[in-house]
Structure formats: structure tokens, C-alpha cells
Amino acid sequence: MVSKKNKERRKRAVKIAKVLNKLFTDEQGTSLGHKNNWELLVSVILSAQCTDERVNIVTEKLFKKYKKLDDYINVKKSEFEKDIRSTGYYKNKTKNILSAAKMIKREFGDDVPNNMDDLLKIPGVGRKTANVILNNALGVAEGIVVDTHVRRLSIKFDLTDNKTPEKIEKDLMKILPKKYWNSFSFKLVKYGQEICGARKHGCKNHPLTKIYTQANNIWPRAK
């Protein structure tokens, strides 16, 4: 049986999704530059604790230097670390990306897997990364991408009682119709970047705050 609280959240989530669709009519997916699924995977791994803008600057050169999966398999770790250093946490990112290339070559015939279970086997790939790949590359909705903006705004607009991305994703999947899953995250991220940032400010006249007025006084800590 659906609780009264969740019924209210379902109505609110749908209203929010519809407003986001009107606000960002052209926002269809990630802003990370890529030409294929492997480049998207690399970009998403690099985006951890780094802005998309910085990642795109790095990958513009990176993808010209490393054009095939074998290029990632054969490069020296120290050289790759130097190439991605400015994205931060470059040692761990290098380890994950180069290990991912080897696994994909060995187990998936050079192709990035097209399902959640296999994607989660790849080093450096969690549900967020897997959802970005599935949503963008295949239009497959197996989940909802929860980054720092989606986490913060889901709490702000009382769509969840949880704090961790994994639990927030499950809550959103329960209250949001599947047809909105692919676009909801990217448009909510855009809303967080362009309209309602993390720093405390007056937001009572913002489009989504008009749906849930209490949000004007709710300022979750960004993580």
C-alpha cells in the first residue's frame, strides 16, 4: 500500500519533471563530449570530483591521442596519469580506466556492455556511471543518475528521506514514472547549475520552489 507521503511525492515528482521539460527543451543528456560509448565511459570516470568543463578540455586532447581501446591497453600508467592529472584523483582514475579497457577487450569483445549487470563488473563503474552510459548511448532506462545536484535537489524538494545516492535513486524510481527517468537527472542537474545553486539564497520565486514552497528554507549540504 502506497503511503500518503509517497502519493504526495509522486504528484510532486511528476510536476517537477514536467516543469523541467518546459525549462530545458533541448537538454537531452550529458554535457560530456564523446563520440562513442568507450569515450563516454572514460569521460564519466574522469568527471568524479571534477567539472564537466574541465573533463571536456582534457578529453579533447586525450581522445585525439588515444583513438582505440588498444591505445589505452598499451600506454604506460605514468604517461596516462600525466595526461589526465588536471582532473584530480588521477592515479585512481588511471587505474580504473586502464583496467576497464583490458576487461572490455578480454571479456566483451572491444564493446562497452549494454546492460547494467555487465557494466557494474567494470572497474570504476558504479550505478551512476552505468546509468549515464545506458541513458545516453542506448536510451535505456534501468535507473536514475544521482549526482551531487540530483541528490541535493531531491532532498530539497522532499522527494526522499535518504542521503546516499543509491538509496535516493531507489526512492526516485518508486515515485517517478519510467518515461521521465532518462531526462529527469540531466535536466535537474541543469536546474541546479543555472537556476538554484547550492549556496543559500532566496529561491521562493524559482519555478520548482513554487511547486514545493517549503524548499525555500531547505538547504542540504552538497556532497
- How far, in Å, CA of 5 to CA of 19, rounded? 21
pLDDT, tens digit (0-9, with 9 covering 90-100), for 153-211: 999 999 999 999 999 999 999 999 999 998 899 899 999 989 999 999 999 999 999 99
Confidence band, pLDDT 50/70/90 cuts, at residue 80: very high
Predicted confidence at residue 97, as pLDDT, reads 98
CA 180 to chain centre: 15
Contact at 8 Å (CB) between 20 and 206? no
Instruction: Supply φ then ψ for residue 181, to 5 degrees.
Output: -55, -45
- pTM greater than the 0.85 cutoff: no
Predicted confidence at residue 197, as pLDDT, reads 92
Predicted confidence at residue 28, as pLDDT, reads 64
- How far, in Å, CA of 26 to CA of 50, rounded? 24
Report the candidate in 58, 127, 142 with the shortest Cα–Cα distance to residue 94.
Answer: 58
- How far, in Å, CA of 39 to CA of 45, rounded? 10
Predicted confidence at residue 119, as pLDDT, reads 96
What domains are defined for the chain?
4-28+145-217 (1.10.1670.10), 37-138 (1.10.340.30)
pLDDT, tens digit (0-9, with 9 covering 90-100), for 105-150: 999 999 999 999 999 999 999 998 999 999 887 778 889 999 889 9
Predicted confidence at residue 140, as pLDDT, reads 82
